[in-house]
Every structure is written in structure tokens, then in C-alpha cells.
Copies of this chain bind each other. A is one copy, B any other.
Amino acid sequence: MSDTKDRLVVAALNLLRQSGLAGAGINNVVDVSGAPKGSVYHFFPGGKHDLVASALAESERQVGDGLRKMFGTSAHLAAKVHDLFSATASTLESTGFTKSCPVGAVTLDLVSESEHLRHVCGAIFDTWRDIVAEGLTEVPQATRREVAELVLATLEGAMILARARASKDPLLCAGGWLADALQSRFPVPHRTAARPRTPLRRRPRSAS
């Protein structure tokens, strides 16, 4: 990605995280990025919608990488959920609770004309949900995506409450109780019950 294009995407992403679709107007993005205005239409011929879609794709990649690291371990799902909400709380705190998920913000700002962006947001949520689902190894395969949908919904909503209260508490509280309830529903196998936060090491299978 060219440096200018990169700067435009980063600026748009930050503005979307802060105040949604309305905040990421071309003029705002140009101001914040310091890029020449003409460069927007050079890199994003479709204008604002193109730029927003690229910024959302960047968020999809960044958050997806984080989820893959967090849910790719062999820790119990309660530990994974706990870590996800705790890491998200720290991220929000580092922005003074002024920035959260750009995909959630855009979704709530959509008017019916933005059918394309709605599909973009839906597809990103699908990607994130599927990454989380893959890590829910204690949950029966057939319902992993559904439980992952619950985790993702709670995370998106808890970010709203955390911003409204300018506090990590809603994320830590909702994440803690979700982890707790899921642990009751999908209990830790007996031999690891005493230390659910420790990643389990699977014995390597012998070649057969």
C-alpha cells in the first residue's frame, strides 16, 4: 500500500472508531491524514464509501489477527473470553474511551441506501465470529458458531456501555459473567478444573 493511501485508511479508521460514518467525511479524513484531497479519488474512485470499506477491511484484518492469537490457544473457553474482554477494555482505555469498533459504529449509522456497506459489515462480523468459533473447542461443533455469535454480540454491546460510562467496568463485568456462565454451560474437563487459565498442552499424536 502506498504511504498516502495508507495514511488515508488509518485516518478514516480512527475517525470511524470515534464517531462513526458521519465522522469520516472526505474533508475530515483529508485534514487528519494530511494527504492531498485529490489523492482520495485517485486511490478510492468510489469516494467515501470506497474509503470506508477499505478502513473497515483494515479493522477486519487487525481484529482478526488478535482474535486468531487469542482463540488459537488451548486455554479453556472461559479464559479466552476473559482475555478478549480484558484486552478490549485496555484498548478502549488507551483511547480515553473515545474510540471503539468501527464496524459496530458504521452499522448503527447506516441508512437504507448503504446496502453495500451493510454487506461489508455483515461479512466482517461473519469472519470474526468464525475465528472465535474455531477456538471454542469445548463447545459441540454444531453449535460453535452460535456461541461465538453470543461472544461477539456481548463484546460489541459492552464496548457501547464502556464508552457511555467512560470506564473499563462494563467490559470487565460483562466479559467476566459471560465467561462464568459459559463455564457452567460447558464445564472444564475434570483434570484441568483447578487451573482453567493455564493453556493445556496436547500430547503429540503418534504417527499411525
In the assembled complex, the Cα of A147 lies from the Cα of B20 at a distance in Å of: 29
A118 on interface, CB distance cutoff 8 Å:
yes
**Shortest distance between the CB of A105 and any CB in chain B (Å):** 4
**Cβ of A108: which chain B residues have Cβ within 8 Å of it?**
19-20, 100, 104-105, 108-109, 160, 163
A23 on interface, CB distance cutoff 8 Å:
yes
Which DSSP category, helix, strand, loop or mixed, fits chain A's interface? helix
A87 on interface, CB distance cutoff 8 Å:
no
Most chain B C-beta atoms within 10 Å of own C-beta, residue among A112, A146, A154: A154
**When the two chains form the complex, which single residue of B110, B146, B164, B165 contacts A19, counting CB atoms closer than 8 Å?**
B110
What string of 1s and 0s marks CB contacts (under 8 Å) between A136-170 and chain B?
Answer: 00000001001101101111111111011110001
Most chain B C-beta atoms within 10 Å of own C-beta, residue among A108, A147, A163, A181: A108
Q: How many residues of A contact B (CB 8 A)?
A: 52
- Among residues 105 to 143 in chain A, which have CB atoms less than 8 Å away from a CB atom of chain B? 105, 107-112, 118, 121-122, 125, 143
In the assembled complex, the Cα of A146 lies from the Cα of B150 at a distance in Å of: 17
**Cβ of A156: which chain B residues have Cβ within 8 Å of it?**
156-157, 160-161
Enumerate chain A interface residues (CB-CB to B < 8 A). Answer: 18-23, 96, 98, 100, 103-105, 107-112, 118, 121-122, 125, 143, 146-147, 149-150, 152-161, 163-166, 170, 173-174, 176-178, 180-182, 184-185
